[in-house]
Amino acid sequence: MEYKQHFAAILYGAFDQQLEEETIYQMIEKPKLMSHGDLAFPCFALAKLRRKAPQKIAEETANAIDDPLFVKVEADGAYLNVFLNKQQVAADVIKNVLNERENYGSQNIGNGGVVTIDMSSPNIAKPFSMGHLRSTVIGNSIALILEKTGYKPVKINHLGDWGTQFGKLIVAYKKWGNEEKVRKNTIKELLQLYVTFHEKVDQNPSLEDEGRQWFKRLEDQDTEAMELWKWFREESLKEFNRIYELLGITFDSNQGEAFYNDKMDRVVHLLEGNELLTESEGAQVVDLSDDEMPPCLIRKSDGATLYATRDLAAALYRKETYHFVQSLYVVGNEQSLHFQQLIKVLKKLGYDWADGMHHISFGMILKDGKKMSTRKGKVVLLEEVIQEAIELANTNIEQKNPNIEDKNKVAKSVGVGAVIFHDLKNHRNNDVEFSLEDMLRVEGATGPYVQYTHARASSLLDKGLTKINVNQPILLQDDEAWPVISEIMMFPEIVERAVKSYDPSLVAKYVIDLAQAFNKYYGNVRILEDEQQKFSRLALVKAVSVVLKEGLRLLGISAPKEM
């Protein structure tokens, strides 16, 4: 049973249906102090409807409610507080988790609808930096949460494999590149060439024109330009796939910007046919002044296409290919105007499905408070960070628990989990300060802390040697267990809130709260020593291990049984 929903249904009747049941549900709170009950409803919204003081409404409703699930209903000022029957609820919650296991918290909000997710999307011929981590792990977690709530996610790695930067890179390679060096260490050398180009362009601005000319040759399918581009792309993909494998992330499509080269004329014709294209300083644009936005650039004066043209073509292709109900773009905050323009242009073309397109924005990863820049060579390579995290995890295991099985596998799980969790515990729109030291702490709000708690629960279950039979009565008499039960009860609602707000940080914060509640319980109760309570306590431990493991999975993190 969903107790918040049950409370909402009772209040709906008690309030003579003056408020919608869903409205009541959304208004129900979990009190900060347990002494104020398990659920609370603020009566302010009814004051106008009933022409009574909210305190009076709370008092009258408290006297009118009689339900076996509530051991106490009381008015506290304008709040109506209820205290749940802890023994009954604890038994029901634990049985729910043990019966449903990894399906606990699953819902069918999406009803099988397809959601495309444009995520990760690094630029080829550049290293996969820490800056790309956010789109990759946020997108992956959102996909997992969507799947748990009844949607069918389609993860698209829209590679940055086209644009004027490739003209610049070809110029840099032809002027300063060394084929042997590039073949030996492709990405590192190409990055250095890209940095060199931007250093030299300050003294020689004509290099920009050369870059544009080479990109035009690329667009015209010039043989030399195409061969270099294909080489840069293939080598980059090899590096990216190695990193995705480390992160445990896969994609349903790797179609990048170049895939849409033959699909953009259609966009231009559609815009012309709808009389939406106008000329501005030699370029073709869609005027968005009525919507208080700058014009959307479709084609430059030299005929070259732009991001908007390509993204319009991609949106049409994805709608026709996948028939999505939602289309998400997991892209940094700085691109918000671009996506506002994109959706507005599609709406002007008469495509109402553009209402289902959403920009899932996020902040930057900072190093010493500053943005990382590929142009200036100030970049922290993601693969190096992950490898360092794995090595540190390995060292910790050697010091604390050298006899565990699959040491390397556990170290990889902890190292990778630490990097992912450090990102996802922050709300996606906040900037994140990069700190390897903070990531790997086994105490505080970190991935290793949650993984360690799961391992501790697994160890207790192994020591308890008790087969958890879900049909056996659960009689949990520990007052100390209630904060843990309260957290477990919250999981389905957290999943629902996370999917509706596209916010994995809700799940990350939740697993921290559950881990802290369990560790406090573990510190206060001798779980294995009381034979009468042993089964019920271990059933609670099992429920905690199931929910922690599933919560971590929704973040794209594994949960080792030993650490």
Query: Mean pLDDT over all residues of the chain?
Result: 92
**Start-end ranges of CATH 1.10.730.10 in the chain?**
382-554
Does position 377 have pLDDT exceeding 60, yes or no? no
Using DSSP's 3-state secondary structure scheme, residue 119 falls into coil
**If we measure between CA atoms, which residue out of 516, 525, 549 comes closest to residue 476?**
525
| CA separation for the pair 335, 318 (Å, rounded) | 20
- C-alpha to C-alpha distances, 191 to 124, 165, 172, 236, 251, nearest whole angstrom: 10, 12, 10, 11, 25
CB 73 within 8 A of CB 81: yes
- Output the CATH code of domain 382-554: 1.10.730.10
Strand order in the sheet with 114-118: 152-156, 114-118, 326-330, 357-360
- Output the CATH code of domain 3-84: 3.30.1360.70
| CA separation for the pair 420, 455 (Å, rounded) | 19
Does position 300 have pLDDT exceeding 90, yes or no? no
H/E element holding 283? Answer: strand 283-286
pLDDT tens for residues 11-59? 999 999 999 999 999 999 999 898 999 999 999 999 999 999 999 999 9
pLDDT tens for residues 64-123? 999 999 999 999 999 999 999 999 999 999 999 999 999 999 999 999 999 999 999 998
Using DSSP's 3-state secondary structure scheme, residue 29 falls into strand
534: Cα within 13 Å, side-chain hemisphere: 12
**Start-end ranges of CATH 3.30.1360.70 in the chain?**
3-84
Those residues with Cβ within 8 angstroms of residue 87's Cβ, 6 or more apart along the chain or in another chain: 475, 476, 477
What are the φ/ψ torsions at residue 533 (nearest 5 degrees)?
Answer: -95, -10
Residue 299 corresponds to which tokens in the numbers above?
């084609």
| CA separation for the pair 73, 541 (Å, rounded) | 30
Residue 21 corresponds to which tokens in the numbers above?
């049941």
Confidence band, pLDDT 50/70/90 cuts, at residue 436: confident
- C-alpha to C-alpha distances, 41 to 19, 79, 82, 283, nearest whole angstrom: 13, 6, 9, 58
| CA separation for the pair 423, 446 (Å, rounded) | 10
Confidence band, pLDDT 50/70/90 cuts, at residue 379: low
Confidence band, pLDDT 50/70/90 cuts, at residue 442: confident
* Cβ neighbours around 77 below 10 Å, total: 12
pLDDT tens for residues 306-360? 889 999 999 999 999 999 999 999 999 999 999 999 999 999 999 999 999 999 9
Those residues with Cβ within 8 angstroms of residue 307's Cβ, 6 or more apart along the chain or in another chain: 163, 338
pLDDT tens for residues 60-72? 999 999 999 999 9
Residue 558 corresponds to which tokens in the numbers above?
């594994």
82 by Cβ neighbours in 10 Å (0-12 / 13-18 / 19+) ranks as buried
**If we measure between CA atoms, which residue out of 277, 278, 280, 284 comes closest to residue 299?**
284
Residue 210 corresponds to which tokens in the numbers above?
């050369």
| CA separation for the pair 133, 129 (Å, rounded) | 7
CB 58 within 8 A of CB 77: yes
CA 84 to chain centre: 33
The torsion defined by the Cα of 45, 46, 52 and 58, in degrees rounded to 10, comes to: -100
Does position 304 have pLDDT exceeding 70, yes or no? no
- C-alpha to C-alpha distances, 48 to 45, 124, 171, nearest whole angstrom: 7, 60, 71
Residue 330 corresponds to which tokens in the numbers above?
């997991």
Q: Which residue has the higher pLDDT, 300 or 428?
A: 428
For residues 152-159, average pLDDT: 97
CB 535 within 8 A of CB 472: yes
Residues in the chain, total: 563
pLDDT tens for residues 200-239? 998 999 999 999 999 989 989 999 999 999 999 888 888 8
Radius of gyration in angstroms for the set of CA atoms belonging to the chain, rounded to a whole number = 28
pLDDT tens for residues 497-521? 999 999 999 999 999 999 999 999 9
Confidence band, pLDDT 50/70/90 cuts, at residue 523: very high
Hey, which residues does 453 pair with through a beta bridge?
A: none
Instruction: State percent of the chain over pLDDT 90.
Output: 75
Q: State the pLDDT at residue 182.
A: 87
| CA separation for the pair 262, 305 (Å, rounded) | 11
Q: State the pLDDT at residue 426.
A: 93
